[in-house]
Chains A and B, each alone.
Chain A
Amino acid sequence: MEALISILFDGLAYAMLLFIISVGLSVTMGLMGFVNLAHGAFAMVGGYVLVTLMTGYGLPFVAALVIAPVIVGIGSIPFERFLYAPLYKAGELDQVLLSIGLVFVTIGVVTFIYGPAPPAIPMPEFLTGQVNLGFREVPTYRFFIILIGCVMMAILWFAFERTLLGAKIRAAVDNRRMAQSVGIDVDRLFVLVFAIGSGLAALGGGLAIEIVGMSPTFAIQYLVFFLIVVAVGGLGSMGGAFVAAIVLGVLDTAGKYLWPDGGAFFIYAATVAILLYRPAGLFGRAS
């Protein structure tokens, strides 16, 4: 029983990480239909920017966790304008190739600057050790991540469902041409969504350093999982990404604990099964 709760907890923390990184990808793919395999690279860059902010500029962890996403979010805009925008009407192949190319360049640059070894960052005192939740003691950092994940979900949900901007985004995801014809500036909307998505990915990357570790191969290593969360959850569905991330995170963690030799198998089998049955994802809309 103890082990089960541990697995659940670790799985949830991992799930929140996946969610925070993948939700941006889900919305941008749902909005522009652009297959962006470089999303993991933005997460990775976020992690490394955080490392530099802390080790190079001496910023505390939480402050860096706020600043790094902003830097990456704003920094992603020129990429969107000059590399991605020309390909919105192109086929999947072009988009896949462009984003893979971007990943390679990013990995090469990061390896060149930081080297291939995983970087280390000084964690603040209050996030180490265990925290007492009343009925149980749990690792503080994982609890921290779960908290942030839930807070992010709440903020995003509120912004999506209750604000005018959110309504515009939902309209554009639902039917881009219709949204354009009622006067919504979809292109500008997209830049905003892209920047926020990349920023969130960076946040996830920063959080990931102490949980799964960071390295130049992070962008590709975890890419499959981000894509699975998006595809299984359904393009453009935040709730779908949340649910898919939880399922994936818990299943993967459980698989690794209970069956170290073949645990990963379940994730991919589950993904294939879900996509065969519901090609548009659990919460996606069949076009």
Chain B
Amino acid sequence: MNATVKTDPTAELRNRHRWRPVEALPWLTAFAAFALLPDYAALGTQIIIMIIFALSMDLILGYAGVVSLGHAAYFGAGAYATGMLSALLGWNEPLTGLLAGGLAGGALGLLSGLVLLRYHGLTLLMLTLAFAILLQEAANTAAPVTGGFDGLQGISIDPIFGLFENDLWGHHYYWYSLSILFLVFLVARRIVHSPFGRSLVGVRENVRRMNAIGTPVFGRLVAVYTISAAMAGIAGGLFAQSNAYVTLDVLDFARSGTVLIVLVLGGTGRLYGAFLGGAVYMVLEDELARISPEFWEIGVGLVLIAVVLFFRGGLLGASDALMRLIRGRSPR
């Protein structure tokens, strides 16, 4: 680094939000994947849904530092809202149905967040876990409305814009979900680069200092939690629409755990970790779990342990370190 060249230290902060060429990569990959493997479009849609879900998790976990073991509660709320709108009320328009899913997730997020976010540590962990299970039990008990253990049947979604129905190959829904992902991502990206988003990082890094600079921490957390829950609800709504079927699994602890694993695997606090983790996890699961479920389970466990102990930044962090190594600087 040439010591006599004056670099503006504010430059990094001024330009952080600008789009970089490499950010086109996920979308190019999505296009290429469809072009090369059109038969996997249905899997692609589910991957996209997982990415949206993981993005919502990144907002609260990666940026605000809130650890939740029950985020599936909002995914499930969205799935059931969208599903019941169609199955029970005959409202089959996809875009408004999806919006309803987002609203359901967001509303539940706001109400529960006002209560839950007063706690932290183990208590918060337990409360988020218990809340999601409670919701699952409630959905089970409300079988006449939710379909209970057998699941919600009779979901029939109209073609999008009256033209694109959920065909057998899942092609239309691939592009539909990808568009939704793009919109959700744009919103998430704006949020994390805004002063609000940066203040969340502050809360995560040192909440004591945030209090000491006058931040209304609770209000910020409730706000991001609500937004995150709405996004999770949208992911759930897409799930209901693409599968035309909703079971109690959408509220499962396994689902909450999986999105956590996916995000950590990809790398938290980067937004793109959701993309990488979601794609890698679901592709590997699709391939490996089929061959041997036990070894898939052992593999996931070992990878998790390795990430926690050695690769704190997940796949993104590891690739960053690799890039630094290649460029000749020592990894920090």
Contacts and interface: CB of A to CB of B under 8 A. Distances in A.
Interface string A259-287: 00110110011011001100110000000
B309 A86 contact: yes
B300 interface: yes
A153 interface: no
Contact of B115 (A35, A104, A235, A276): A276
Interface in A224-250: 224, 227-228, 231, 235
B129 A224 contact: yes
Grouping DSSP codes into helix (H, G, I), strand (E, B) and loop, the B interface class, with mixed when no group exceeds half, is helix
A98 interface: yes
B131 A104 contact: no
B133 A268 contact: yes
Interface residues of A, number: 42
B302 A101 contact: yes
Contacts of A220: 253
B88 interface: no
A272 B129 CA distance: 10
16 contacts: A86-B309, A87-B308, A92-B121, A92-B122, A92-B125, A93-B61, A93-B67, A104-B304, A105-B301, A108-B294, A112-B295, A262-B140, A265-B141, A268-B134, A271-B130, A276-B127
Interface of A: 29, 35, 83, 86-87, 91-94, 96-98, 100-109, 111-112, 220, 224, 227-228, 231, 235, 261-262, 264-265, 268-269, 271-272, 275-276, 279-280
Contacts of A280: 123
B134 A272 contact: yes
Contacts of B131: 272
A102 B298 CA distance: 9
Interface string B296-315: 11111111110111000000
A109 B119 CA distance: 36
Contacts of B154: none
Given A101-B301, A104-B301, A265-B134, 19 more contacts: A35-B125, A92-B121, A97-B261, A97-B307, A98-B308, A100-B257, A100-B301, A103-B301, A104-B297, A104-B298, A105-B305, A112-B298, A268-B130, A271-B126, A275-B119, A275-B123, A275-B126, A276-B115, A276-B127
Given A87-B308, A101-B303, A275-B126, A112 B140 contact: no
A91 B121 CA distance: 9
A255 to B, nearest CB: 10
B308 A264 contact: no
Given A105-B298, A264-B137, A96 B69 contact: yes
The 9 closest A-B pairs by CB, nearest first: A104-B301, A101-B304, A108-B298, A105-B301, A108-B297, A101-B305, A262-B141, A268-B134, A231-B126
A275 B308 contact: no
Nearest to B296: A108
A54 B133 CA distance: 36
Most buried by B among A96, A98, A112: A96
B261 A100 contact: yes
Contacts of A106: 301
Contact of B137 (A101, A107, A227, A262): A262
B116 to A, nearest CB: 9
Nearest to B302: A105
A227 B138 CA distance: 21
B295 A227 contact: no
B1 to A, nearest CB: 33
A35 B127 contact: no
B81 interface: no
Given A97-B308, A272-B127, A112 B301 contact: no
Contacts of A262: 137, 140-141
A231 B123 contact: yes
